[in-house]
Amino acid sequence: MAKTVRETIKEIVYYHLKKKKFLAMGQCLSAVGWVGGTLPELYEKDGMIELSMADVAGGGIATGAALAGKRPIYIIRYQGFNWYNAPMILNYACKSKELWNVSCPIFIRSIAMEGKIGPVAGSSHHSLYYRMPGIKIVSPMTPKEYKGIYEKFMKGDDVYYVSEHRGSFNNHKELIDVEINRPNLVIFAISITRFEAKKAVEILNKKNFRISLCNILWIKPFKVKKKMINQLKKAKYGGLVIDDDYEDGIAKNIANDLSIISNKKIHTLGLKNKSAGFSKKGDNLPPDCKEIISKIEKILVKK
Amino acid sequence: MRDKNLEIFKKVSFVRHFELQVFKNIKNKNIKIPAYLSAGQEFISSSLSYFIIKELKIKPLIFAQHRCHATYLNFGGNPKKLIDELLGKKSGTNSGLGGSASISSKKINMFGHDGHMGTQMPIGLGACFASKKPTIIFLGDASIEEDYVMSSIGWASFKKLPILIIVEDNNLSILTQKKVRRHWEANDLAKGLKMKSVNIKDDPKDIEKSKKLFFKEPFLMNINTTRLFWHAGAGEDDYKRFDRYEYTKKKIGSIGKEIDQKIKMEVSNLWQKQLEKQ
């Protein structure tokens, strides 16, 4: 059987530390589960650095390690923690090359999950980084995508925000774009929503809804295959961007870009504009298959 | 000892006259950006650079604060490039992008400052931890109050790194005095975090006493000093200030005046040449 995303990440971290002699750092790395089984059981002598629980300083320490040429993999166990971890990464590491001609490459492993974990720990928060210059944002959900992103990081000297999702860790399959001849609508799905979007498209297309699906790996710079843009240009009812972050973030930015490129109306679907509670009823979860289908039905019926 | 004092005095004199030229060129609008003058605080980096580079023969990683002209000049930065940077020219230290507060130089291992108070502490700490190279970090008495600075001092102490933390304590955040902001001293904080520390004046003799501890273990020096001019720009605050440069010049007599005049001329010519290139 092919390797899962979890196994792929674990192998990459091992290679980064033991073969390349670089660093991985973060909080509570060696605690129960080794960050969802994505870390090899290595310690400070191997380059696996347990930081103190000071989030803001942690981002600065990772930045300094990058200045020293150690290409740190900086592990943030819940994406919401970026509110405190991001300041020095965005204001120093991301600007370092431009302002001081000094490379400061960091591979930020920012991990999302959701479901009864409250207003901070849940979901993706990649929009937080999106507006700033000097950052690359990707959201790999398959083993091949993850490996490719790591290789690109190692060849360059940029800061990468790698928006992971625990829901993808068991995945061992690649996700393929769905191209329909003269589609009614094209879905552009980000992060964990790609799995639900795939299910929704299968169901809808069985009912002859004619929906194409484009998997977004590169969020910033925004990259999609030209053929998917051509699909959008031909789509009768435009497109739909789906995200695991708040709808008032990257989803709307990408929708705007796509709208300008294609001259089509682009809809969005993401987290609702409310705080997530800890109970099932009060939670704020990413759009699931049912919600995606419902949204598409509404778009098509309204037209 | 006298030679050493004169060497340090010369370094101080160079920075003083450099900063007086900055002052003048802000006034006559050749410099059009916010500038943070080191005048009054020169003895700290002049003394430290003398002891670290000349005597200990160490070339540390340097993480300065926004008020960084003296650090750059004393640790071997090219003054012409700093002038050009302040004038916003491509030939400046940072191609005119760094301004006054974000000066960097690969040649002297000096990293730029991002403009957020105290970030040089965790960033410098990370560089020190990852490289294990001697690292000197300059902070102001206000930036030591940043929460991430405090936690970084704790981690530096815990990891026993070759790090020297210098608090250039001019008692002011813009114009808000320390006594309004807190009831503790930086050295108290360091001691609480199990790091050796001192609280001294910016007299070279006092600074030298701690030389043996430099980069042997984590060490914090709170050095009391005086900011001569405004927080930013060319102006003088309305309060009585002690000026160690003038005090020392007077103390060492005619040789002090001689050095002062000679360096004043040297710096003036340097500025003139760079301005003519505009």
Domains of chain A, residue spans: 5-168, 185-302
Tokens standing for residue A61: 């320490």
pLDDT of the residue at B178: 93
Residue ranges and CATH numbers for the domains of chain B are 2-276 (3.40.50.970)
Tokens standing for residue A119: 């207003």
CATH topology for the A5-168 domain = Rossmann fold (3.40.50)
**A177 sits in which H/E element:** none
**Domain A5-168 and domain A185-302 have a common topology:** yes
CATH topology for the A185-302 domain = Rossmann fold (3.40.50)
* Closest CB from A51, A70, A88 relative to B130: A70
Contacts of B104 in chain A (CB under 8 A): 99-100, 102
CA B218, distance to chain mean position in Å, is 19
pLDDT over 70, % of chain A: 99
What distance separates the 2 farthest-apart alpha carbons in chain B? Answer: 53
A to B CB pairs, distance under 8 Å: 109
pLDDT of the residue at A302: 64
pLDDT tens by residue, chain B, 278 residues: 579 999 999 999 999 999 999 999 999 999 999 999 999 999 999 999 999 999 999 999 999 999 999 999 999 999 999 999 999 999 999 999 999 999 999 999 999 999 999 999 999 999 999 999 999 999 999 999 999 999 999 999 999 999 999 999 999 888 899 999 999 999 999 999 999 999 999 999 999 999 999 999 999 999 999 998 888 888 887 777 899 999 999 999 999 999 999 999 999 999 999 999 97
Give the relative orientation of helices A55-67 and B120-131 as an angle to the nearest 10 degrees.
50
Contacts of A100 in chain B (CB under 8 A): 94, 98, 102, 104, 111-112
The answer to whether B99 contacts chain A (CB < 8 Å) is no
* Closest CB from A62, A92, A99 relative to B94: A99
Which of A33, A110, A120, A122 lies closest to A75 in space, CA to CA? A110
pLDDT of the residue at A37: 97
Give the ipTM of the model, two decimals please: 0.96
pLDDT of the residue at A303: 54
pLDDT of the residue at A75: 98
* Closest CB from B97, B116, B129 relative to A87: B116
* Closest CB from A52, A59, A65 relative to B127: A65
The answer to whether B88 contacts chain A (CB < 8 Å) is no
Residue A301's pLDDT band, with cuts at 50, 70 and 90, is: confident
CB spacing of B155 vs A92 below 8 angstroms: no
Chain A residue at shortest CA distance from B150: A57
CB spacing of A56 vs B147 below 8 angstroms: yes
* Closest CB from A60, A66, A72 relative to B122: A60
Min distance A21 CA to chain B CA atoms (Å): 11
CB spacing of A60 vs B126 below 8 angstroms: yes
Residues 6+ apart with CB under 8 A from A31: none
Mean pLDDT to the nearest integer, A181-205: 98
Residues 6+ apart with CB under 8 A from A22: A16, A47, A70, A71, A72, A73
pLDDT of the residue at A231: 96
pLDDT of the residue at A120: 87
Chain B residue at shortest CA distance from A96: B112
What are the C-alpha distances in Å from A283 to residues A272, A278, A279, B103?
A: 10, 6, 6, 48
Alpha helices in chain A (DSSP H): 5-14, 34-37, 55-67, 82-88, 94-100, 118-121, 127-130, 143-155, 193-206, 226-234, 250-262, 289-302
The answer to whether B128 contacts chain A (CB < 8 Å) is yes
Vertex A57 angle, CA A55 and A62, to 5°? 95
CB spacing of A57 vs B106 below 8 angstroms: no
Calpha distance B121→B150 (Å, rounded): 9
Contacts of B123 in chain A (CB under 8 A): 60-61, 63-64, 67, 88, 92
Q: How much is the mean pLDDT over chain A? A: 96
Tokens standing for residue B218: 């984590």
The tens digit of pLDDT for each residue in A146-172 reads: 999 999 999 999 999 999 999 999 999
Calpha distance A17→A25 (Å, rounded): 11
Calpha distance B152→B189 (Å, rounded): 12
What are the C-alpha distances in Å from A235 to residues A184, A239, A242, A275, B178?
A: 5, 8, 17, 34, 65
Residue A144's pLDDT band, with cuts at 50, 70 and 90, is: very high
Tokens standing for residue B185: 């001293």
